[in-house]
Amino acid sequence: MNTKIAISALSSISSLGSDTDTIWKNYNSDSHFLSPGIYGNYQAMAGALSAEELDKIQALRVEDPKYKPLDNSVLYAMLVARDALKSSGWQKGDVFGVNIGSSRGATSLFEKFYDDFLKDGNSSTLASPTTTLGNISSWIAHDLQTKGPDISHSITCSTALHAVVNGVAWISSGMCDKFMVGGSEAALTPFTIAQIKALKIYAEANDNYPCKALDLTKKRNTMVLGEGAAVVCLEENPKVTPLAYIKGIGYATEILKHNISISKEADCFQDSMNMALKDTDKSEVDVIVMHAPGTIKGDLTELKAINKVFKDKVPALTTNKWKIGHTFGASGVLSLELAILMLKHQKFIKVPYIEYDKTPKNIKNVMINAVGFGGNAVSILVGLED
């Protein structure tokens, strides 16, 4: 990359918590943070926020009358955006861009408003303004008082990493000096769980590890849905010591054969990884945080793509979905968070039910993968300064 772009801050909320030290401590435990819940007619495993984290969201909701009717997807993003702002050294009123996307957007509110409409044929006055996709970034820009560009988008499960790509593009073009990017998802709702169950990919058994992401011996799909949000601050000249640098970005889209199709060897991932590696030798990549949703086909095709690209130099592989579930539009930056934590602490986080024949002693460069329905893949390479 011609432009040296730093990650100056990162903040997140998930079933692991919202404090960086607590999150790292939880990553060092072999326990997952998935638990059963009732969603409509379904009892399903999910990576839900803890009562303590939900209290923080409730406090935010009652802080301002304007925030009371907002969907949790907006409030999750608002909470982490405020924290990232402080950590980055940025100030309210600074001119910076905001691009926080979501796969499902205002899921809970939309389902509630539509349910009310089915009952009496009327819609709430706030139904439209509080369920538009642009709602997330617009409210973050309002709350942080930035006059920079604010963008929202939905590119299914690769949404958050597409936001990173957008931020890099804006900064590299010289149109904006700083960008806050990420994703937010609050989709633990009856209709969403029903949709995923209908795809026959949801985990059914409550064993030691409900989501068996990366386990190629599994005989059934084991995807588990999670909720959360994460953002990172990108800039060329940070005021604080950078957490990491963006060293490569890649993206690709497959030719569709089906609405949820992906090729046998994940051609989109091969293309996105090769693009991200344009300026880096493959042997210099120490870890890949895989998308690995816990489905038989999804995990296997991504692994085949990695083997095709890296051949006899395959890095150590890991994922966080066995622990927090699949957070859809937020998942890419939550995976980026794991990458940054491994770089910071110089410790590889293993998947506990996978046998490893190698683990890196030093971690300098980590690749993060994400892909969504339609085969829209993104690969981001991050690392320490050369």
Task: Give the domain CATH number at 344.
Answer: 3.40.47.10
pLDDT at 386 over 80: no
Question: Hey, what long-range contacts does 51-54 have (CB within 8 A, 24 or more apart)?
Answer: 52/17, 53/13, 53/17, 53/18
Quote the pLDDT of residue 345: 98
Predicted structure pTM score: 0.96
Question: What six digits make up the tokens of 169?
Answer: 């593009």
Q: Give me the pLDDT at residue 310, please.
A: 97
Q: Are residues 58 and 183 in the same domain?
A: yes
State residue 2's pLDDT score. Answer: 79
Residue 77 predicted with pLDDT over 70? yes
pLDDT of residue 134: 85
**39: confidence class by pLDDT, cuts 50, 70, 90:** very high
Q: What are the pLDDT digits (tens) for 19-30?
A: 999 999 999 999
Task: Look up residue 87 and give its amino acid.
Answer: S
User: Is 227 a domain residue?
Assistant: yes
Percent of the chain residues past pLDDT 70, beyond the cut = 98
Q: Where are the beta strands (DSSP E) in 53-208?
A: 97-101, 150-151, 178-185
Residue 260 has pLDDT above 60, yes or no: no
For residue 126, pLDDT over 70 is answered with yes
Give residues with Cβ within 8 angstroms of 251, minimum separation 6. 162, 165, 272, 275, 376, 377, 378, 379
Q: Are 276 and 367 in contact (CB under 8 A)?
A: yes
Give the side-chain half-sphere CA count within 13 A for 32.
28
Token code pair at residue 25: 């401590």
Tell me, yes or no, whether 314 lies in a domain.
Answer: yes
Q: Annotate 308-366 with DSSP letters as a single string.
A: HHHGGG--EEE-SHHHH-B-GGGHHHHHHHHHHHHHHHT-----TTS--S---SS--EE
119 in the same domain as 162: yes
The answer as to whether 58 is a domain residue is yes
Same domain, 325 and 371: yes
Q: Are residues 231 and 251 in the same domain?
A: no
Q: Are 15 and 228 in contact (CB under 8 A)?
A: yes
d(C-alpha 286, C-alpha 117), whole Å:
52
Quick one: 184 and 254 in the same domain?
A: no
CA–CA separation, 354 vs 83, rounded Å? Answer: 34
List phi, psi (to 5°) of 151.
Answer: -135, 140
pLDDT at 256 over 90: no
Domain end call among 200, 235, 270: 235
Place of tokens 């981001």: 380
Instruction: Decide if pLDDT at 297 tops 60.
Output: yes
Q: Are residues 262 and 371 in the same domain?
A: yes
Domain count, the chain: 2
pLDDT number for residue 114? 93
Average pLDDT score, the chain: 94
**254 and 215 together in one domain:** no
DSSP code per residue over 88-133: HT--TT---EEEEE-SS-SHHHHHHHHHHHHHHS---TTTTTTTST
User: 240-251, pLDDT tens digit by residue?
Assistant: 999 999 999 999
Whether 258 has a pLDDT exceeding 70, the answer reads no
On the CB side of 26, CA atoms within 13 Å amount to 19
In a domain, residue 102? The reply is yes
- The arithmetic mean of pLDDT across residues 283-305, rounded, is 96
Residue range 79-84: average pLDDT? 98
Q: Are residues 131 and 194 in the same domain?
A: yes
Residue 241 lies in a domain: no
In a domain, 137, yes or no: yes
Report the DSSP beta bridge partners of residue 55: none
Structural domain boundaries, residue 83: 5-235
Residue length, the chain?
A: 386
Bridge partner list, 235: 6, 178
Looking at the fold, whether 225 and 255 belong to one and the same domain comes out as: no
pLDDT above 90 covers a percentage of the chain that reads 89
Which three-class secondary structure state does DSSP give residue 252? strand
Give the pLDDT mean for 337-347.
98
Q: Is the pLDDT of residue 53 over 60?
A: yes
Averaged pLDDT, 225-233 = 98
Do 113 and 184 fall into the same domain?
yes
242, part of any domain? no
d(CA 59, CA 220): 40
Average pLDDT over residues 135-158: 95
Of 136, 376, 127, which is closest to residue 268 (Cα–Cα)?
376
240 found inside a domain: no
Supply the pLDDT for residue 257.
64
Q: How confident is the model at residue 57 (pLDDT cuts 50, 70, 90)?
A: very high
**Cα–Cα distance measured from residue 231 to residue 228, given in angstroms and rounded to the nearest whole number:** 11
Q: For 234, phi and psi rounded to 5 degrees?
A: -110, 140
Among 214, 175, 174, CA closest to 306: 214
Q: Does the pLDDT of residue 357 top 90, yes or no?
A: no
- The reply to whether 111 and 205 lie within a common domain is yes
Both tokens assigned to 162: 């597409």
Give the residue-averaged pLDDT of 62-85: 97
pLDDT tens-digit profile of 166-209?
999 999 999 999 999 999 999 999 999 999 999 999 998 777 89
* Domain final position from 202, 235, 268: 235
Shared domain check, 186 and 87: yes
Last residue of a domain, one of 235, 265, 281: 235
pLDDT of 261 reads 58
Rounded to the nearest 5 degrees, what angle is found at the Cα of 94, between the Cα atoms of 92 and 96?
115
